């Protein structure tokens, strides 16, 4: 669709800056006039709304969520449930032309990012395109990604953590012909599992940085600047040393959570606490998304049975890999093959998160004050093998899953000099290479050429942190799927590695990668098809909102 057909609503300063930089401008619309569906296979209207959902006994929980409606295409494209705030699940085929109208019915600006999808920059959900309450943003793109488990969530600068925490997220599942030939479990045996953690107050409300949506001014806790201290904010002002009113109201605990990351006291699966699942003695495909703001999971079966991983962020692997446990950082996905014929009928099972050492020191250890600290053991999901269900002997997954060529670092234009991205904190502001987020800024080293490959290296070194503070970071690159080339770790941090290093699944295509303290992780990125301004950032959302996000510009 020609964006000139849309009625564009942008702030004067942003529009002027975008024009100066030659950047595409937002496709926001304040009107509700329908345009023709010519040329699209699927047309969805997606509303961001406020609702109440009964999650625990007693008072319903106030949430923000997406409500969808199919205007064109198969009704099965959307799958929604009133039992959860998550969703709807959007199911599409590779090659389909999709139009999605986002209507903002929240009391603050928002925008949707299609996490992992390869789309033009104006369709990617950059915070410069955030729309005000009552406005509409029109997305239209062709689904070019291979089959896989992608997702969507809000992406306004300084608000992403809060908006996801209060409920805004859904899965975007892509199918294709290659996947259809593999013979994987489908239908009710293909189960998405979104893992999140939340804290509730005594009235069953989500508590984020000391506030809930029932507070008279819940967004007080979200005032800019998101951090205390120096560093350039997204609006071009200095961070300065000020705090939001909500931070002062929430006290030191809220201030530390804002800086280090929010950890909930309860584990939710598909938006439900104390989740359980009844299964038959047959193969299943379990699609797991870490939808938590900050928490990393060390996933394992209760009895030590191996996890059989068949897919990651960018779809199916070339062949199954087996792990005793899997490290799953915020925004990462894995697909598991599980044949429950391994266990007898009536068996009680559990998927657990095992204890691990996150390599944190100094201020990072303050996260340990949470009721359920990062790295603590807990049960994620209870499962019961149905009585009377009789399956055959345990079935193995297909030996070959998909065509995933081995990465060739030699194609990179900077093969002998990878770009270094230091993950930093200074003056209580997160950053990358010492720079915090600026809405339209991309430095020369953040400029790439369309059609080229580059080697990037994320470096998480204590020397780059305030007072030697170290924390894990979950690094996400918008607009691409990349390959992980390798990891190395400083000898000073080697001690914690025996609790995590057997759990990385770096095979296949990725859009998010966990970078532990002391690590260097090198990736190969191909910048194909779309010029423009895209984001890369930490997906531990309070780190992102606090400045650990930057733009990269793809030039023709």
CATH number of the domain that residue 97 is part of: 2.60.40.420
* Tokens read off for 538: 């930490």
Query: Which pLDDT value is given to residue 28?
Result: 44
* Domain co-membership, 472 together with 354: no
Among candidates 304, 512, 550, 534, which has minimal Cα distance to 431? 550
Q: Where do we find the tokens 């004050």?
A: 369
The string of pLDDT tens digits covering residues 206-239 is 999 999 998 744 454 444 444 433 333 333 322 3
> What is the value of pTM for the model shown?
0.90
- Residue 192 is assigned to a structural domain of this protein: no
For residues 129 and 26, what is the distance between their CA atoms, to the nearest angstrom?
A: 5
**Same structural domain for residues 39 and 135?**
yes
Same domain, 282 and 162: no
Q: Which two tokens stand for residue 276?
A: 């359980």
Q: Which residues of 284-321 are buried (b: 16+ CB within 10 A; e: fewer)?
A: bbbbbbbbbbbbbbbbbbeeeeebbbbbbbbbbbeebb
User: pLDDT (tens digit, 9 = 90+) per residue, 246-270?
Assistant: 333 456 667 788 889 999 999 999 9
**Whether 482 and 514 share a structural domain:** yes
Shared domain check, 135 and 239: no
User: Beta strands 89-93 and 78-79: pairing type?
Assistant: antiparallel
Q: Which portions of the chain are predicted below pLDDT 50?
A: 1-34, 216-218, 220-249, 363-365, 367-368
The verdict on 169 and 29 lying in the same domain is yes
pLDDT of residue 393: 73
Domain annotation covers residue 363: yes
Phi, psi of 257 (to 5 degrees): -65, -40
- The pLDDT of residue 250: 53
Which residues contact residue 68 at a Cβ distance below 8 angstroms, ignoring those fewer than 6 apart?
Answer: 44, 45, 46, 47, 78, 80, 87, 88, 90
Rounded CA-CA distance 92/152 in Å is 13
Q: b/e per residue, 130-149, with b = 16+ CB within 10 A?
A: bbeeebbbbbbbebebbbbb
Task: Determine the structural domain holding residue 508 and report its residue range.
Answer: 409-555
Q: Could you tell me if 272 and 83 are in contact, meaning their C-beta atoms sit under 8 angstroms apart?
A: yes
In this structure, how many other beta carbons lie within 10 angstroms of the beta carbon of residue 6?
Answer: 19
**Res 394: pLDDT:** 81
pLDDT, residue 390, reads 61
Count of domains in the chain? Answer: 4
CA distance 390 to 106: 49
Distance between CA 239 and CA 429 in Å, rounded?
A: 8
**Same domain membership, residue 322 and residue 246:** no
Do 130 and 16 fall within a single domain? yes
């Amino acid at each position: 669709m020609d964006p000139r057909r849309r009625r564009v609503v942008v702030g004067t300063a942003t529009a002027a800056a975008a024009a100066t930089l030659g950047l595409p401008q937002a496709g926001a619309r304040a009107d509700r006039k329908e345009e023709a569906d010519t040329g699209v296979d699927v047309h969805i209207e997606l509303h961001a709304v406020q609702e109440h959902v009964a999650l625990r006994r007693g008072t319903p929980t106030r949430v923000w969520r997406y409500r969808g409606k199919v205007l064109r295409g198969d009704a099965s494209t959307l799958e929604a449930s009133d039992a959860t705030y998550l969703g709807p699940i959007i199911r599409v085929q590779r090659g389909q032309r999709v139009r999605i109208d986002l209507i903002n019915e929240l009391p603050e600006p928002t925008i949707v990012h299609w996490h992992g999808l390869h789309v033009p920059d104006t369709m990617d959900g950059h915070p410069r395109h955030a729309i005000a309450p009552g406005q509409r943003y029109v997305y239209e793109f062709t689904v070019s990604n291979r089959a896989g488990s992608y997702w969507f969530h809000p992406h306004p600068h300084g608000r992403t953590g809060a908006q996801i925490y209060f409920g805004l997220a859904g899965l975007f599942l892509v199918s294709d012909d290659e996947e259809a030939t593999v013979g994987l479990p489908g239908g009710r045996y293909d189960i998405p599992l979104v893992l999140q953690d939340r804290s509730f107050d005594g009235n069953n409300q989500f508590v984020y940085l000391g506030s809930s949506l029932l507070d008279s001014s819940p967004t007080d806790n979200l005032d800019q600047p998101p951090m205390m201290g120096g560093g350039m904010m997204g609006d071009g002002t200095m961070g300065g040393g000020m705090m939001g009113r909500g931070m002062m109201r929430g006290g030191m605990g809220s201030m530390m959570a804002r800086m280090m990351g929010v950890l909930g006291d309860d584990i939710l699966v598909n938006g439900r606490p104390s989740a359980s699942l009844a299964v038959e003695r047959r193969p299943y495909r379990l699609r797991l998304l870490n939808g938590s703001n900050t928490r990393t999971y060390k996933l394992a079966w209760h009895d030590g049975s191996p996890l059989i991983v068949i897919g990651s962020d960018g779809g199916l692997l070339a062949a199954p890999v087996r792990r005793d446990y899997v490290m799953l950082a915020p925004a990462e996905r894995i697909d598991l093959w599980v044949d429950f014929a391994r266990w007898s009928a009536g068996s009680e099972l559990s998927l657990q998160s095992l204890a691990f050492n996150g390599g944190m020191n100094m201020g990072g250890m303050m996260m340990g004050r949470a009721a359920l600290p990062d790295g603590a053991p807990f049960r994620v999901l209870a499962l019961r093998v149905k009585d009377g269900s009789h399956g055959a002997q345990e079935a193995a997954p297909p030996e070959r899953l998909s065509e995933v060529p081995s990465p060739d670092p030699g194609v990179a234009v900077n093969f002998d000099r990878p770009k270094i991205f230091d993950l930093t904190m200074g003056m209580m502001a997160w950053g990358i290479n010492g720079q915090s987020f600026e809405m339209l800024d991309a430095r020369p080293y953040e400029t790439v050429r369309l059609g080229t490959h580059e080697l990037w290296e994320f470096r998480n070194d204590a020397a780059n942190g305030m007072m030697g503070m170290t924390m894990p970071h979950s690094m996400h690159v918008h607009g691409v799927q990349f390959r992980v080339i390798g990891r190395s770790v400083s000898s000073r941090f080697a001690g914690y590695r025996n609790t995590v290093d057997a759990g990385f699944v770096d095979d296949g295509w990725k859009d998010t990668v966990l970078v532990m303290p002391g690590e260097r992780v090198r990736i190969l990125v191909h910048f194909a098809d779309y010029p423009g301004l895209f984001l890369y950032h930490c997906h531990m959302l309070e780190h992102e909102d606090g400045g650990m996000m930057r733009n990269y510009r793809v030039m023709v």
